[in-house]
Amino acid sequence: MSSLRVHSLPESLGAGGQPVGCCVVIDVLRASTTIVYALAAGAREVIPCRTVDEARKLARDLPPGSVVLGGERHGLPIEGFNLGNSPAEYTPQVVAGKTVVLTTTNGTQALDRATQAARVLIGAFVNLTALSSMLAGEASVDLVCAGTDGQPTSEDVLFAGAVAAKLSSDSSWQLDPQAQSARRAWLELVAGPTATSAGLLAALGQSRGGQNLLAIGMQHDLALAAEIDRFSLVPSFDTRSGRITASDSRSSSPR
């Protein structure tokens, strides 16, 4: 049997000394979605940083012209950075062939917590099926929701539920209680095995993270995050080098 665990916040990952095999970091609004977009647009790699100062220093240390500095604090772009955290900003014209140095309020902090895992992948609705397919052969998977400002948020849990629904179609998967609850929430939303981006968009707008984005006029990012299976690549975080690259580049263009 393969095991699937869901963590509504990163702090519970590895609690009680439980070993962590494959870990998926989830920050639908917006870090994990933005990372997929950046790599799909041809970015060479993404380097997540915990702090603004760390990101600035790293960007200065990289060769001139090779780096794009992106991120946000409390949803808003950071002074002096090239980009914010909107997926729409990470276009081929801006990031192709470049290293993206990224720091965000929640997502990059969750990645830092996941460094104890043997393998770390990054998931969002825009790569749902590709990610789920990659997880199919794993013996143990932890889905780690980044949350928002230290609080669980429904958009991340919904995505965890979508992954749980896909994996549990194979009876060899054993879901923990949190994974079962997330799966039920997802199936209640979609009322079946598939979902439309329109239905998901409405749910994202009602979430904690979605409400925060609406408050700062970033509603367009909700639509981008709700485009289910737009990409087929899966970002992989090398915890030794601290770099994120596309581990499955069968197609990095929109479907």
Report the pLDDT value the prediction gives residue 193, as an integer from 0 to 100: 47
- Residue-wise pLDDT tens digits, 192-213: 445 567 789 999 999 999 999 9
Spelled out in words, what is the top-level CATH class assigned to the domain 2-8+20-234?
Answer: alpha beta
* pLDDT for residue 69 is more than 90: yes
pTM of the model: 0.94
The predicted structure's pLDDT at residue 196: 67
The percentage of the chain sitting over the pLDDT mark of 70, rounded to a whole number, equals 93
Is 127 strand, coil or helix?
A: helix
Does 254 score more than 80 pLDDT? no
Q: Of 49, 182, 161, nearest to 111 (Cα)?
A: 49
Calpha distance 106→58 (Å, rounded): 19
Contact 26, 83 (CB under 8 A): no
Residue 239 phi, psi dihedral angles, 5° rounding? -70, -20
Asked if residue 21 has pLDDT above 50, the reply is yes
Is residue 48 a contact partner of residue 112, using CB atoms and an 8 Å limit? yes
Give the model's pLDDT for residue 170: 85
Give the helix ranges, DSSP H, for 104-153: 107-113, 128-135
Top pLDDT among 13 and 250 is at 13
3-state secondary structure of 12: helix
Angle between helices 177-190 and 154-167 (to 10 degrees): 90
Average pLDDT over residues 73-101: 97
Q: What is the mean pLDDT of the chain?
A: 92
Closest Cα to residue 181, out of 166, 167, 198, 164? Answer: 164
| Average of per-residue pLDDT across 163-188 | 95
Distance CA 113, CA 57 (A): 21
Q: Using alpha carbons, select from 111, 109, 168, 108 the residue that is nearest to residue 135.
A: 168
Res. 136: pLDDT tops 60: yes
83: helix, strand or coil: strand
* Domain ranges, ordered by start, for the chain: 2-8+20-234
Note the pLDDT of residue 62. Answer: 97
pLDDT, tens digit, for every residue of 32-64?
999 999 999 999 999 999 999 999 999 999 999
Region for 217 from its dihedrals, namely left if φ exceeds 0, alpha if ψ lies in -120 to 50, beta otherwise = left
Pair type for strands 99-103 and 67-73: parallel
User: What does the pLDDT average to over 157-173?
Assistant: 95
What does each C-alpha distance from 178 to 184, 221, 234, 253 come to in angstroms?
10, 27, 24, 33
Residue 190: both structure tokens together? 């979609």
Q: How far apart are CA 213 and CA 216, in angstroms?
A: 5
